[in-house]
Structure 1
Amino acid sequence: MKQAIDFNYKGFLFMNKLILAVSLVVICSYLSNPIQSAEAAGRHKSHAAKAHSHDNHQSKASWYGAEFHGKKTANGERFNMYAMTAAHKTLPLSSYAEVTNLKNHRSVVVRINDRGPFHGRRAMDLSYAAAKKLGIKGIASVQITPLGSNETLALLSQ
């Protein structure tokens, strides 16, 4: 009988050690994920910057207004033609970009809240308000500069 108790006790100790080891592995892998995620985010940001680096060159932009006013945008909000917003095919929704009219060098900051344009060779559709501030009446040559979170906070706090 004592042998059976000793055997069970040894099995119990072994199981405790096994559970402890597995728990440590799980906890360590969980704790290392934020570091790996931060590294992956850094790689993603640099990749995203490269993907959008073409936007820092001359692009074409137009504007959209009354016919879309009040309709849902890609991020689910209602389009307001009097807000400083824009549609872009690839920039992240709710990100910001500085748009400069290359003809008169006026600049505005817009929030990307929609997808488009889906016709022509244009890179961006601006809201009526943004186009008006830039002096754009039809299609214009613009420079689109995606803004990082620090740049966005600095510009919006001014």
Structure 2
Amino acid sequence: MNVRTFLAAGLLLAAASGPALAGSTCGKASWYALHSRTASGEMMKPSELTAAHRSLPFGTRVKVTNVSNGRSVIVRINDRGPFTKGRIIDLSKGAAQHLQFVGKGISKVCILTNPVTASPASAPAKKPFLIATDDKV
């Protein structure tokens, strides 16, 4: 095997083991401002830019865009929910203020997850690895 084959194999393996979270979803968002523990165990701080999602890993960062006004904010997933049918994300009051829909209570949003920003904050980012060898192998 030559160096190119090793490099290609390493890059393929790294790509295959990366997070499969990239994508965009649109739907309804609501907001909440409790002063209790989140599902991740941390205290809910309504002014922080956090959110609840049913399945994204805790620590995942997602870009949320309010469809009606184009405003966007990046939030960190630290809770589970929403538990109301038809909603795709529950935002902290701080995030809803950035998106300017606190008065309305709910808004149509699009959520963008990116493999670079979707890795949990506590986990190191996965990087492609290279295998050093000489051409004689």
**TM score, norm. by length of structure 2:** 0.69
Alignment equivalent of 1:98, drawn from 60, 63, 69: 63
Gaps of 5+ in 2: 1-8, 122-137
Larger relative contact order (CA 8 Å, sep ≥ 6)? 2
Which residue in 1 is equivalent to 2:75? 110
Which residue in 1 is equivalent to 2:54? 89
Are residues 1:120 and 2:82 paired? Answer: no
- Partners of 1:43 and 1:91 lie apart in 2 by 19
Q: Is the 8 A contact 1:95 1:147 kept in 2?
A: no
Q: Is the 8 A contact 1:86 1:113 kept in 2?
A: yes
**What's the secondary structure of 2:112's corresponding residue?**
strand
User: What is the percent sequence identity of the aligned residues?
Assistant: 41
Does the C-alpha gap of structure 1 residues 44 and 62 become closer, same or farther in structure 2, counting only changes over 3 Å? Answer: farther
- Structure index of larger Rg: 1
Are residues 1:139 and 2:106 paired? Answer: yes
Q: Is the 8 A contact 2:52 2:82 kept in 1?
A: yes
**TM score, norm. by length of structure 1:** 0.61
Instruction: List aligned pairs for 1:4-153, cutoff 5 A.
Output: 39=13, 42-45=15-18, 47-49=20-22, 53=23, 56-65=24-33, 68-69=34-35, 71-137=36-102, 138-149=105-116
Aligned pair count reads 109
Which of the pair is proportionally richer in helix? 1
Which of the pair is proportionally richer in strand? 2
Q: Is the 8 A contact 1:74 1:114 kept in 2?
A: yes
Q: Which letter does structure 2 place at the counterpart of 1:149?
A: V
